[in-house]
Amino acid sequence: MSIEQIIKRDGTRAAYDRDRIATAVFNAAASVGGENREESEQLAVLVEKRLEEMYGSEAPTVEDIQDLVETVLVEEGHVNTSRAYISYRGRRARRRESRADQAAATFNNIPYKKIYNVLRWNLDHGCESVEGLNRIIADDRFPELVAACEKRYFGECRAVAENILAHSGDVRMIIVAGPSSSGKTTTTTKIMESLHREGWSLKAINIDHYFFNLEDHPKDEFGDYDYETPQALDLELINRHLGHLLAGETIRTPNYDFKTGRRTLDVHELSLAPDEMLLIDSLHGLTPAMTEGIPAHKKFRLYIETLGQLRSASGEFMRWADHRLMRRMIRDSWHRNHAPEETITHWHYVRKSELQHIIPFNDSVDFLVNSAMPYEIPILKNKLFPCFAAAMEQFKSNPKRQDAYIRARRVFDLLDPLTDWADDSIVPGKSLFREFIGGSEYTY
């Protein structure tokens, strides 16, 4: 008899997956110098056989499985790996306890009321699950979903503009911040359009031009550069230039070329008239050091995130970061000449930076915009699905790339039962989604 399901810590059931056991063992082994993925898979088979002997077709709990993993590791002579695995379990338990303490108020500093409203909207439109999206496509209602998503997102952008106008007597700077590929640039553009219609003038400063030369960025063991940390930006120069602009002075911003990885100083002339507001669209716009010289009452802070509430076929919600990863995989392929698999391997920098330098500052913003549109996922599958299978094969046995393997496997499992949508002409020319798939009527 074979095991088909497990019981999770919250009491719900999920599909049993031996690969998860093999990956956990391989990660523990890699932490103490192991490099043999095949041996980890053999150990996972032993664990599975023991589970079948003990439980038959009954569903074991996650804790039962982890206890048995420890036992099998010791019995098979992998004492150091067993110790590493026990240490890993302890760290995970402490993280769960920490998250539980914070759960009553927020998730990633996002108010649960906002998350609930997103879920309610998805439920009302039948797009809260992979099954729901498949049904919408089968019933020829996909164009209706596209229109509804675009209308909802535009409504939030218009609400931001209304809030800014309500504080127009003080505000001189609008900061649009959020994690990678959340849609900051398009959201900034749409807010500008709304304010222009009310007679206000805005002027944008491109923070990307303030990157240091690529050769000055730190590298890791793989030789990868890190664009995701605030320290990759010349924060001192940014802060100084912002102060000059709000004082009515003219500055000359740098120019950064992503293809060469080099910047040129004093290129783009910029000034701010008394009746203009300055717009900042930046991954790290909420980082205190970037605008520390500007009084708080002169700043309007906006945060953007893909607050998707889409359940997979197994009932788990898609991670917001996975949605943004898919967006960035496409954009990097045509904007930065990166293969999609490269973006997957680089993503651990993105998440590390978000957790350290972005999320801690998003709890005091003036407005929060949800940029996730459920209709994107079938289109993203059509464009990216083979990349995840290739990444899984490429990274499965590499002990230093297990984070990439786990990420690729998770997204592959989400997309696998989803019906894809091949014709992206259905996406409006001014859609936020065009920022990533190309073909936008906006100039980025």
Greater pLDDT, 335 or 14: 14
Sign of CA dihedral 126, 111, 205, 191: positive
For the domain covering 106-437, report its CATH number.
3.40.50.300
Mean pLDDT of 92-107: 56
Does residue 51 register a pLDDT over 60?
A: yes
pLDDT tens for residues 260-305?
999 999 999 999 988 889 989 888 899 889 999 899 999 999 999 9
Q: What is the pTM of this model?
A: 0.79
Residue at 22: amino acid letter? A
Does residue 105 register a pLDDT over 80?
A: no
CA distance 144 to 209: 39
CA distance 367 to 142: 30
pLDDT tens for residues 382-434?
999 999 999 999 999 988 888 899 899 999 999 999 999 999 999 999 999 99
pLDDT band at 102 (very low <50, low <70, confident <90, very high): very low
Element (H, E) at 14: strand 13-15
pLDDT band at 259 (very low <50, low <70, confident <90, very high): confident
Greater pLDDT, 94 or 325: 325
The domains of the chain are located at: 5-102, 106-437
Tell me what pLDDT residue 218 has.
66
Quote the distance between the C-alpha of residue 160 and its chain's center.
22
Query: What's the mean pLDDT when you consider all of the chain?
Result: 89
Stretch among 36-40, 91-95, 213-217 having the lowest mean pLDDT:
91-95
Q: What does the DSSP 8-state code read for residue 136?
A: H
Tell me what pLDDT residue 1 has.
52
Tell me what pLDDT residue 10 has.
65
Q: How far is CA 189 from CA 155, 183, 202, 203, in A?
A: 14, 10, 10, 11
CA distance 39 to 186: 48
| Residue 220 CB contacts under 8 Å (≥ 6 apart), including other chains | 226, 349
The residue whose two tokens read 């056989």 is: 49
pLDDT band at 58 (very low <50, low <70, confident <90, very high): confident
Residue at 243: amino acid letter? G
CA distance 77 to 39: 12
Residue pair 90/60 in contact (Cβ under 8 Å)? The answer is no
Q: Which two tokens stand for residue 390?
A: 């290739």
Quote the distance between the C-alpha of residue 111 and its chain's center.
18
